[in-house]
Amino acid sequence: MSVTPTAPQGAVNPWQMALQQLDSVAERLKLEPPIHEKLRHPKRTLIVSIPTMMDDGSEKVFTGYRVQHSLDRGPAKGGIRYHPDVDLDEVKALAMWMTWKCAVVDIPYGGAKGGVTCDPKQMSRSELERMTRRFTSELIPIIGPEKDIPAPDVNTNAQVMAWIMDTYSVNVGYSVPGVVTGKPVSIGGSRGREEATGRGVMITAREMARHWGMGLDGARVVLQGFGNVGRHAALFLQNECGCRIIAVSDSKGGIYNPRGLNVEELIRLTRAGGMVPTYPDGDRITNKELLELECDLLIPAALENQITSANAPNIRAKVIVEGANGPTTPEADLILRDKGILVVPDILANAGGVTVSYFEWVQGRDAYFWTLQEVNQRLERIMKNACDEVWATYEREQVDMRTAAYMVGVARVAEAIRTRGIYP
């Protein structure tokens, strides 16, 4: 997933943002104070040092995190990201958002997240492997197919998951494919997992546009971030919905062409190591300019804190579909609502990845693997049902879309807590 190097003016602490969102919905749901208080605290937080031998013979010590927010609906589930800005508050927020995301699509997981504070773009493949394997060794007491199942996130991929799986398996003495999802198909991964988050973004955009009475054929789409999520969302929206992709960006900037960009050519360019702004058929723009383009559909698919109180007044999209986690601050949400812009929240829009991760976990447990068509059909059904349920709540409760999604997700987790009770 491509990222924006610095957050815009008006960025807020992600953990405070997550708490504010929870508190607002808890009040609306009239949550019992003990349940509300329990949900405000992660169940478990692990911070580890990761001494790593570098290629030049020197040793660096990185800091790694794993936060398990909730285990009330099942084992913890959540990605691992490698990024210079990773810190505990970010990981705690992402873990909480994973809890709600899993509940919104009604899969039997709680939320977790992990990360390492590093710059993977300045590290060799062998350095990344050594760091990943040491990090995994530190996580072994709390991860496992019945405990906590990591997955790819920002700057991690199927290869990183393979290293995690192998390290865990070597330590326990037998092969454990179910310890991670998002791994290569050759070692137990699921078909359709790599593109699942982008496909889920497309399904959510299509369904919410249908509910809202907006056609997508010929719709102008702007995407911030052209990594795994952004590139697949762009491809599916173009090829399956007839959208016109007019602007995309990565960490170095963006490219804009009102006539439409050739997504396949852009994918070939970036997979060959090129950067989006070097694409010749369009005008170079900044990430700030990209977010403020006039369009029908805006998809922030980079990092959190991209749409804030500082730039929300200048947003000119009709609908925002959050491909990234936490890209819109609460203050920006209020501004966008007043402007009449429909914001489809992250905990619904980007849940395709964790849904197919669930499929991978199920396939691994049964040692029976599905076809790509079966994976996509099941993903379609789950995402469509979640969209319909959130939309029904949105209309019934007369709230914004984020609040509706949170009401669905938080209510499910709260019900699990009530049913299980407190022991001892």
Q: pLDDT truncated to tens, each residue of the chain (424 aa)?
A: 334 445 567 778 999 999 999 999 999 999 999 999 999 999 999 999 999 999 999 999 999 999 999 999 999 999 999 999 999 999 999 999 999 999 999 999 999 999 999 999 999 999 999 999 999 999 999 999 999 999 999 899 999 999 999 999 999 999 999 999 999 999 999 999 999 999 999 999 999 999 999 999 999 999 999 989 999 999 999 999 999 999 999 988 999 999 999 999 999 999 988 999 999 999 999 999 999 999 999 999 998 889 999 999 999 999 999 999 999 999 999 999 999 999 999 999 999 999 999 999 999 999 999 999 999 999 999 999 999 999 999 999 999 999 999 999 999 999 999 999 988 8
Residue 71 and residue 165 in one domain: yes
List Cα–Cα distances, 304 to 7, 80, 218, in angstroms: 8, 15, 28
190 within domain boundaries: no
Tally of domains in the chain: 2
Residue 201 and residue 344 in one domain: yes
What is the predicted pLDDT for the residue at 12?
Answer: 85
- Could you list the residue range(s) of the whole structural domain that residue 298 is in? 196-349
Residue 101 and residue 152 in one domain: yes
3-state SS assignment for residue 305: coil
Contact present, 288 and 247 (Cβ < 8 Å): no
CATH number, domain of 312, equals 3.40.50.720
d(CA 340, CA 391): 16
CATH number, domain of 136, equals 3.40.50.10860
What is the predicted pLDDT for the residue at 8?
Answer: 61
- What positions carry a catalytic annotation? 113
Residue after which a domain boundary falls, among 349, 371, 386: 349
Contact present, 417 and 38 (Cβ < 8 Å): yes
In degrees, to the nearest 5, what angle opens at C-alpha 387 toward C-alphas 381 and 390? Answer: 140
Residue 152 and residue 289 in one domain: no
What is the predicted pLDDT for the residue at 424?
Answer: 81
Residue 341 and residue 263 in one domain: yes
Copy the structure tokens of residue 276.
Answer: 């989006």
- For every residue of 5-47, DSSP letters joined together read SSPPTT---HHHHHHHHHHHHHHHHT--HHHHHHHTS-SEEEE
Residue 72 and residue 141 in one domain: yes
Residue 275 and residue 141 in one domain: no
Residue after which a domain boundary falls, among 299, 329, 349: 349
Only one residue has tokens 């949900």, namely 39
What is the predicted pLDDT for the residue at 339?
Answer: 96
Residue 287 and residue 168 in one domain: no
Other beta carbons within 10 Å of 45: 15
Query: What is the model's pTM?
Result: 0.93
Residue after which a domain boundary falls, among 349, 376, 398: 349
Residue 134 and residue 244 in one domain: no
What is the predicted pLDDT for the residue at 423?
Answer: 87
21 within domain boundaries: no
Residue 212 and residue 275 in one domain: yes
358 within domain boundaries: no
74 within domain boundaries: yes
Only one residue has tokens 């019900």, namely 415
Select from 201, 107, 194 the least CA-distant residue to 159: 194
CA dihedral sign of residues 13, 15, 19, 21: positive
Residue 141 and residue 253 in one domain: no
Residue 202 and residue 164 in one domain: no
Beta strands in 156-243 (DSSP E): 220-224
